[in-house]
Amino acid sequence: MQDEGSLCHSSFATPPYTCRVASSSNIPRPTIKRLSLYLRSLESHQPAGTATVSSRQLGQSVGITDVQVRKDLGNIGQLGQPGIGYQVEALRGELRRVLKTDREWNAVVVGVGNIGSAILHYPHFGSKGFRIVAALDASPDRIGQRIAALRVQPMADLPAIVAEHDVRIGILAVPAEAAQSVAAEMTAAGIQGILNFAPIRIDVGNDAEVASVDLSRSLEQLAYQVGIGD
């Protein structure tokens, strides 16, 4: 009875298939989501002693059948050894390569309210290859504040920051009313992927990919499941 949080990716929602995903990748969407699950399992609580892991073990650790694991992994290449399993180290590398976390991703946080500053303090990004290089806000009161080793900068600095640090990803944590227009600023500055925390759909056309985290919707889904009996 485990459910993933609702991160409605834009490609899942768009009716005209404007997303450039279509041709470039023949890996099914559900598989991609599970790959990051496998990677997380391999990265965190995998005993250092084991050099090898079976599809059953891996599946058990993330709550998925062994067949599904093999199908998923078979989807990105032939990585296993019959009778043995998968080499943990090699598999990790391959997953990182496929998911593009074998490189450094520079990101900015836009909006340093509650959620924005929580993100800035979130410790798990660094180890996954994501580095937050700047924090920005529109409110003059907040500019200059220090949050988690960063000084809050004005929105006007965005294009320069993006250019200087090769920022591709922006974390959007502004109030819903401002989200759409700030998202436009971000794409205009050259940002290609937006992680949106505002509870509203933002439309950036083909300029960027959007993934959303909507806390209210997550709670709603949970309430639905809990209340299913009545």
Task: Point out which residues bind DNA (CB under 7 A).
Answer: 1-2, 15-16, 28-31, 54-56, 65-68, 70-71, 73-74, 78-86
Question: In the bound complex, what is the minimum distance in angstroms from residue 51's beta carbon to DNA?
Answer: 13
Give the residue, chosen from 17, 20, 89, 156, that forms a contact with its own copies under the rule CB under 8 A.
20
Partner touching 28 among its own copies, DNA, none, CB below 5 to 8 Å by kind: DNA
Residues of this chain, 162-181, that bind its own copies according to CB under 8 A: 168-169, 176
CB of 156 to DNA, least distance (A): 40
Rounded to a whole number of angstroms, the minimum distance from the CB of residue 75 to its own copies is: 14
44 binds its own copies per the rule CB under 8 A: yes
Beta strands per DSSP E along 57-157: 80-81, 85-87, 105-110, 130-137, 146-147, 150-154
Give the whole-angstrom CA distance, residue 107 versus residue 125. Answer: 10
* Binding of its own copies by 31 (CB under 8 A): no
Q: State the residue for tokens 């009778």.
A: 83
Residue 115 near residue 132 (C-beta atoms within 8 A): no
Least distance (Å) from its own copies to the CB of residue 230? Answer: 8
Residue 170: CB atoms within 10 A of its CB come to 28
Range in contact with its own copies (rule: CB under 8 A) among 11-19, 72-80, 82-90, 133-141: 11-19
Task: Measure Cα distances from 74 to 11, 40, 77, 79, 206 in Å.
Answer: 24, 18, 5, 7, 31
Q: How far is 102 from 105, CA to CA, in rounded Å?
A: 9
Is 133 a binder of its own copies (CB under 8 A)?
no
